[in-house]
Structure 1
Amino acid sequence: MAGKTFENIARIVAAHQGKILEEWLDLLSKAGALESGRIKEAELKTQCRAFLDLLINGIAQSNGDASSSAFDRVRDMLSDISRTRAIQGFTPTETASFIFSLKQPLFNALKRATTADKSGADLNAEDSWPVTLLLDRLGLYTMEVFQKAREEVIVRQSREIAELSTPVVKLWDGILALPLIGTVDSERTQVVMENLLQAIVDQAAEIAIVDITGVPTVDTLTAQHLIKTVAAARLMGADCIISGIRPQIAQTMVHLGVELNVTTKATLADALQLALSRLGKNIIQARPDSQAARR
């Protein structure tokens, strides 16, 4: 399509901007854009009006290429909207409808111009096709940004959950415990190492107990992650004890030929008792005094 035609389209859209905005907001409302309560009607109207202004300027200064510099501000605005909606929990359909629901109002405006307005004398039905392609490309761009933002949110949340699920607990002076729950993968192992090593430094710990009671299965890869964690703790000057190895896990490790090369205990209590003995401390059951015994 020639640049002259796009200039005519921009002029027509600008002349019918009020009607286009009205129809666009009506379609968005019917599609449920306001039902979730995540965005207010005034905010949505402001976004639509601002986007329409940028779109008109972009069409007037380009040949319809959505990737051209004429649409830089359009893409910037769509990026901001997509990222914000991804964080706010909008669905992909709700986000995509912001662009795709604009098609019908634009087509209606061009149709009215070609049949009634003198300004549309240089346009015909085929001239609306490049506008369709333009909105499709902008819609796809919106979804790409939205998807990327959603993935970033998921990764960040996964990291936060991993940090929360790997607390390092001080059991005694010089003794730390790291209870693991769930699957131990490479990314989580990195978080475990960082938390454990930092705690060893902060607490000047001599012994670290890694409890795997909550780990459902231990395969070769999981064992390698545990070995790395133990090795890192040893480099920091802390000895390690692994507790919580259930009979099923022990059998699996034997079949796999996995050797942890570290002291293991069946329960956390046993591991704590061993850790205390290594520090020269013993657990003694207190005897009640005579008065307490009479009561």
Structure 2
Amino acid sequence: MALTTEESGRLVGLLAMHAERVVQRWAEIVAASLRGRLSQAELRLQVQDLHRSMIDAGAEGLADIQSESAGELRAALAELSRGWARQGFSATETAVGLYALKDVLIELADSGEVELRDVITFSGLVDRMGLFTFETYVQTREGLIADQAEQLLELSTPVVKIWDGVVAVPLVGTLDSARAQVVMERLLQTLVDTGSPHAIIDITGVPAVDTQVAQHILKTVVAARLMGADCIISGIRPQIAQTIVALGIEFGDIATKASLADALRHVLRITGVDAARRQPRRDA
């Protein structure tokens, strides 16, 4: 329920008349819930910013948190919730940071400086502010999680240069569509950067190969061939070989090897590089 013009005026008067007390107690209550995770000075500045934004919005007629006059207040709430989300505060801690204002209003009512009906009315506004803050917090956390997931995805799909002309992609874990796209992009970019004519895709760390995983691998091989690179698939364990046969998956003329070592030996052979063998020393 939105505040009337009269209620909005009473709220502004209350916050302005008891400004120092409201800010002080508000900051103290929040500080107690955060257990020192935020400095008192920084916390007080954030509370003062919210306090001032509420007064400014109320002076223009705070009909509702979504009203045009509440634009600065929404900005202050959003900045607070985004900042706390990035700092690792929980949703509960963020909510307590705002709902602590209710405790301050109740204390003012107990001392007879504000009527109980006004406390109830203003509490409704604080609840709506809390919902707005929570929504912003959730959006920020979802964004952070998505960014972290993307970073982990990139870290989990490295493309390693073995030596001049040969790169390898060691795959570990499940290969879904999103990760397959990252693998393909990184492999193709590495082929361009290094000019390598050979690439090894090692699936030793892939727990299971189904039709979808096989299709992702085949698409990566085809894309690499279009770039002029020949691909070898290594890590074909007995269980995976049986699964591939059972599913009727055909790798065609793509070279497949049981291990990464076998794939490396295959590349050495087709490139005409002889592996140096250590000869025993003879006494003079």
Q: TM-score with structure 2 length normalisation?
A: 0.91
CA distance change for structure 1 residues 259 and 106 in 2, over 3 Å: closer, same or farther?
A: farther
Q: What displacement does 1:110 show?
A: 5.3
Q: What displacement does 1:134 show?
A: 1.6
Partner of 1:28: 30
Q: What displacement does 1:60 show?
A: 2.5
- Residues 12 and 109 in structure 1, CA contact (< 8 A), matched pair in contact too: no
Amino acid at match of 1:163: E
Q: Per-residue displacement from partner, 1:95-139 (whole Å, max 9, x unpaired)? A: 111111111212433565xx45xxx6xxx5444434222211211
Q: Hey, what's the Cα distance between the residues in 2 that align with 1:59 and 1:139? A: 17
Partner of 1:263: 255
Structure 1 residues without counterparts, runs of 5 or longer:
none
Task: Give the percent of matched residue pairs that are identical in Structure 1 and Structure 2.
Answer: 43
Q: Hey, what's the Cα distance between the residues in 2 that align with 1:56 and 1:167? A: 54
Q: What displacement does 1:272 show?
A: 0.9
Per the alignment, in what secondary structure is the counterpart of residue 229 of structure 1? helix
Q: Hey, what's the Cα distance between the residues in 1 that align with 2:87 and 2:23? A: 24
Tell which deviates more after alignment, 39-48 or 150-159: 150-159
- Residues 96 and 143 in structure 1, CA contact (< 8 A), matched pair in contact too: yes
Q: Hey, what's the Cα distance between the residues in 2 that align with 1:110 and 1:69? A: 30
Per the alignment, in what secondary structure is the counterpart of residue 102 of structure 1? helix
Partner of 2:85: 86
Q: What displacement does 1:254 show?
A: 2.4
Partner of 2:64: 65
Partner of 1:11: 13
Q: Hey, what's the Cα distance between the residues in 2 that align with 1:286 and 1:111? A: 90
- Residues 188 and 224 in structure 2, CA contact (< 8 A), matched pair in contact too: yes
Q: Hey, what's the Cα distance between the residues in 1 that align with 2:128 and 2:214? A: 48
Q: What displacement does 1:234 show?
A: 1.0
Per the alignment, in what secondary structure is the counterpart of residue 232 of structure 2? strand
Q: Hey, what's the Cα distance between the residues in 2 that align with 1:247 and 1:195? A: 29
- Residues 232 and 255 in structure 2, CA contact (< 8 A), matched pair in contact too: yes
How many aligned residue pairs are there?
Answer: 281
Q: Hey, what's the Cα distance between the residues in 2 that align with 1:254 and 1:146? A: 49
1:1-295 map, 5 Å = 1-31=3-33, 33-35=34-36, 37=37, 39-109=38-108, 112=111, 115=112, 125-261=116-252, 262-291=254-283
Structure 2 residues without counterparts, runs of 5 or longer:
none
Q: What displacement does 1:284 show?
A: 4.6
Amino acid at match of 2:194: Q
- Residues 200 and 238 in structure 1, CA contact (< 8 A), matched pair in contact too: yes
Per the alignment, in what secondary structure is the counterpart of residue 122 of structure 2? helix
Moved over 4 A (4+): none
Alpha carbon RMSD of aligned pairs, Å?
1.9
Per the alignment, in what secondary structure is the counterpart of residue 223 of structure 2? helix
Q: Hey, what's the Cα distance between the residues in 1 that align with 2:44 and 2:227? A: 59
